[in-house]
Amino acid sequence: MLFVAPGDPARACACGGIVSHDQDARVTGEQALIATHDGTETVVMRLDLESVADNAALIIPTPTPATAAQAKPALFDELARLSAPRMRSGRNNTDLDGVAAAPGTAPVVVARVQLGPLEATTLTGGDLTGVRQWLDSHGYRLRPEVSAQLDPYLRQGWSFVAMRLTGEKPLNGQIDPVKLEFASDRLVYPMRMSAAAKNPQRVVIYALGEHRMQRTDADAARQNVAVDFAGSIAGRTTDETLTALSAANPYLTRITTAIPDPASITDDFTFGPAPSDEPFQPVIGGPGESDDTPVWVPVAATVAVITVLAAVATWVILRRRRSPGAAAQPASSSR
């Protein structure tokens, strides 16, 4: 993910882009759950931020206009529990092409909602010039290296969710998950903006489907992709969000992707059914295991036990520009 500080060149942090007066601001973790049903995709993200600044903001590309809502923090604790490695006791092993808009076309505000300390605005339409003008006039500022990554999405007709802090306290610590829902004919996770990152990236995705899922985009062959967990969670959870999403998509696949060279990113992550529904759950060995019973503990499995994860490089945190006594901006913009 891209890290940007005022006056400094873009540099990367674990999983988020920051533009802030706080030069030490950083994202320490980001996780995402994705699922699709009847032409609607659901993406739930959770961001962990360390900052003392009060001017952070986010922008998230989506194929079509999204609705935004809050999700419960316990969702990702439950996902970690469901996908955690099993413990071995002794020797007992328990088994999207769009049409470009006219130059300078402003985006249209589809919706605006308050999500705790964040204000989320769904934007659609417009071109790069128009979107930059809208963001600038509403208290956001895009750096050139970031706006260059927005342009391909706009040319393909994607929309955006722009989120900014409206409370007086800094965004510091674990922010409640945000749920986005939008129309999509495929299961997709936007990644192209991460091509601007300077450091290696690690992306962790929980994908729900009717079957075991796998990456289907061309970039997958050039990246280090590992399955950390695969199996049905039907009847294994009482979490409200997971129960609803897994009703039609009971198979959970956790996929970790390592990207040593972010500049090589050319496409978004897309997902489709794997060749088989073979389950996978790493086993961590314990006392009493015998030499003839091998125990595989891959790096990806170790990562699975850690709740602070580095992820998708889709969110770009923008600097919220504020001036004392400035009047509030209008709630919508015309095309």
Tell me whether residue 335 is in a domain. Answer: no
Q: What is the pLDDT of residue 335?
A: 38
Tell me whether residue 122 is in a domain. Answer: yes
Tell me whether residue 327 is in a domain. Answer: no
Tokens of 3: 């890290």
- What's the rounded Cα separation, in Å, for the pair 217 and 201? 17
Above pLDDT 70, what percent of the chain? 66
| pLDDT tens digits, 253-291 | 999 999 999 899 999 999 999 999 999 999 886 554 443
Name beta bridge partners: 259: 201
| pLDDT tens digits, 97-150 | 444 455 678 889 999 999 887 889 999 998 888 888 888 888 777 777 777 788
Comparing 166 with 285, the larger pLDDT belongs to 166
* pTM of the predicted structure, to 2 decimals: 0.71
- What's the rounded Cα separation, in Å, for the pair 304 and 223? 19
What is the DSSP track for 282-314? Answer: -EE--TT--TTS-----HHHHHHH-SS----TT
Q: Number of structural domains, the chain? A: 1
- What's the rounded Cα separation, in Å, for the pair 115 and 131? 22
Tell me whether residue 194 is in a domain. Answer: yes
Tell me whether residue 109 is in a domain. Answer: yes
* Residues of the domain holding 27: 2-95+97-320
Tell me whether residue 330 is in a domain. Answer: no
DSSP 219: G
| pLDDT tens digits, 19-63 | 444 444 445 557 899 999 999 999 998 876 655 455 567 788 999
Indicate the average pLDDT of the chain: 75
- What's the rounded Cα separation, in Å, for the pair 27 and 194? 14
Tell me whether residue 69 is in a domain. Answer: yes
Closest listed residue to residue 46, CA positions, set 27, 63, 24, 23: 27
Tell me whether residue 55 is in a domain. Answer: yes
Cβ(80)–Cβ(307) under 8 Å?
A: yes
Q: Residue 65 CB: number of other CB atoms within 10 A? A: 19
